[in-house]
Structure 1
Amino acid sequence: MALAPLLILLSAAAISALLCVLLRPLLERYALARPNARSSHRVPTPQGGGIAVLAGAFLAIGLALQALPPLPGAAGLGFVIAASVVLAGVGAWDDIRPLSAGLRLGLQALCVAVVIVYGAPDARLFPELMPLAVERCLALLAGIWFVNLTNFMDGIDWITIAGFVPLTGALALAGSAGVIDPASGLLAAALCGGLIGFAPFNKPVARLFLGDVGSLPIGLLGAYLLFRLADTGALTAALILPLYHVADATITLLRRLARREKVWEAHRSHVYQQATTNGHSVLSVVTTVALLNLALVGLAALSITMPDAAVQWTCIAAAILLTALVMRRFSLRSSAS
């Protein structure tokens, strides 16, 4: 069992990389993302690499669960995977023929609701503060936002790799250490492996994009895993781990709302996108985000190992400060430009 997360990660990475090679010619024909005024790429690039990521992750964990004895937390994984597959289908359709914002949001809400009700039916974060129905409504809103912000943040090469490989790697280690249930830890290892297998094809300048078929379900899986972490009492860690993605997307949304823009339309207003406009190379941006996320992993781990309230608040403050410093750096002109 101790080697299971590593084996799952390696298997998912191998399957994902192989599928990227096999699927790319087909995606070039049917799912080509052509550049426009809001794009970060300059040449038509196939999208749909998320199919390889998810297939690698789900095949790897499916084989592992068949080989291993029943694991705590495994009962709800079928619902989580099924909802992710449905959401991937929504994303695939939207990649080829864009859906209306209302229909897209409704289908996302349905998938998030399935994960909350059936994927983690016993999870409670605030049992003493609010009724179950209220908590689930808040979880639904948070889940929908996390799905969408993951999609919004997938706007330059390697940005999702920089955000989710540290996060899922940390959660895989948390599963091995007994912080979260073993099944969630294995799911995190599988998703981490799938993203690693995809990474060589998405490195700047990318030969393959995730597409909505990948970013939407990856957001759903990330939200589920963070929800499982928060359910253990590690709410501080669950808030810290995705902080850069959440902060960039949320601040950008609020700014666009203040300017009365149509927030459902594509744009280039995110801080990481503005960084490239300000002369920061794509590679320097994603490297900075990856390093920030590794620092956030360290702060999250500290908050788990030292549950004292003063340490919790210190970790949150440090995470906010580091994230603010990175966003401030991105908002300034690069000295190399």
Structure 2
Amino acid sequence: MTADLPVLLALALALCAAALCAALIVTLRPLLQRYALARPNARSSHKVPTPQGAGIAVIAATLLIGGGYALTTGAAPLALLFAATPLIALVGLVDDIRPIPVLPRLILQAIAVGLVVLAAPSELRLVPALPLALERALLLIAGLWFVNLVNFMDGLDLMTVAEAVPITAALTALGVLGLLPLPAALIAAALCGALLGFAPFNRPVAKVFLGDVGSLPIGLLLGWCLLELAWCGHIVAALLLPLYYLADATLTLLRRMLRGEPFWAAHRTHFYQRATDNGFTVARVVGEVFLLNLVLAALAGLSVALTSWTADVMLLILGAGVVALALRRFARPRAMEASRRG
């Protein structure tokens, strides 16, 4: 059983995290402007040098507000999560300033993900038929991929906000209903608020970016919350919530591997990047992603409510269908979309 998250407490955590994040960004922005400029290149979506590193404020607000309150409840030990999140944020910070080679970067990320996955209680299982060591190894690989795909998808103004706010809002709602462990619900509420506090600074044209220092730990915290949801028996809901990111990033990776391209190198061939090349405005892309994620959140909520494998299969197929339609739209030139509707 999990404890309910009171609605007023969830709102208070989100508002406090939003205010703290915004205040920290205002304070940090002159330093980021001086020491952490992201300069545009052929793979960038921005045109002018823009400070990056606002993820410091997002993660600090999330851990101080959501994590701080979670610690006072004594609901569950969060020490390893609190160790892993700053560790992966530090890896991102260094990589923002001076790129780290691929292998050392992945090893450090794997250590952070491993702190969260491998140290979880042995009674928490997704597939009891699998040996525990094998299941945890697969979760480690999945967690490492999820952290990186969140980073890969943070390539457009407000994109991470459009993805993570619906997910964290849905997780918070499940916590209010007592369907998600309290620590995960508290972190989700605070992360949702922190991202809303970041949003005004990142709306097109962005005044500041998250940077890897933000996208990597956001991926870790989101992945942990979704894993907690899956451990509660809601595996399909945990897949539906991030399904757009999973599809865009995974299909792009597979396409690059099949073409023999250096898939680890920076590029701009994700579906959302192709959409801007195909005539979609940034606002249109992130708006459609936000609406798509609201639909996926609704489907995830139905999956939790119906508790039926038949319903889960149907909802997963429906979710995959709406994501496939969005990817197809993004991959087609805007003029072709207009003529097809006409």
TM-score by length of 1: 0.96
C-alpha contact (below 8 Å) 1:80/1:119 kept by paired residues: no
Determine if the alignment matches structure 1 residue 36 to structure 2 residue 41: yes
Equivalences for residues 1-337 of structure 1 within 5 A: 2=6, 3-65=8-70, 68-71=72-75, 74-75=76-77, 77-119=78-120, 122-127=123-128, 129-335=129-335
Residue ranges of structure 2 left out of the alignment (5+ in a row): none
Assess if the C-alpha contact under 8 Å between 1:158 and 1:286 holds in 2.
yes
> Once superposed, what is the RMSD of the aligned Cα atoms?
1.3
Q: Give per-residue Cα distances to partners, 1:150-187, cap 9 Å, x unaligned.
A: 00000010110010000011101111111111111001
Whichever residue aligns with residue 33 of structure 1, its letter is: A
Q: In 2 relative to 1, CA 78–121 (structure 1 residues): closer, same or farther, beyond 3 Å? A: farther
User: Equivalents in 2 of 1:318, 1:52: separation in Å?
Assistant: 36
Alpha-carbon deviations, 1:35-93, whole Å to 9, x = none? 00110000000000100100111111244235x5432xx21x22112101000000000
Provide the C-alpha distance between the structure 2 equivalents of 1:70 and 1:87, rounded to a whole number of angstroms: 25
Q: Distance in 2 between matches of 1:309 and 1:125?
A: 15
TM-score scaled by length of structure 2: 0.95
Q: Is the 8 A contact 2:303 2:312 kept in 1?
A: yes
How far apart, CA to CA, are the structure 2 residues paired with 1:69 and 1:226? 21
Contact 1:4 1:64 in 2 (8 A): no
Query: Given residue 106 of structure 1, which amino acid in structure 2 is its aligned partner?
Result: I
Gaps of 5+ in 1: none
- The change in CA–CA distance for 1:228 and 1:63 in structure 2 (over 3 A counts) is closer
Counterpart Cα distance in 2 of 1:159 and 1:188? 18
Distance 1:60 1:181, change over 3 A: same
Aligned length: 332
State the one-letter code of the partner of 2:74: P
Q: Aligned partners of 1:157 and 1:213: how far apart in 2?
A: 16
Counterpart contact for 2:67–2:186, Cα < 8 Å = no
- How far is the alpha carbon of 1:121 from its aligned partner? 5.2
Aligned-partner Cα distance in 2 for 1:78–1:171: 21
Cα pair 2:157 2:282 within 8 Å, conserved: yes
Give the partner amino acid of 2:104. Answer: L
Q: How many angstroms apart in 1 are the aligned matches of 2:320 and 2:285?
A: 18
User: Cα offset for 1:263?
Assistant: 1.2
Aligned partners of 2:18 and 2:61 also within 8 Å: yes
- The Cα of 1:274 is off from its aligned counterpart by 0.1
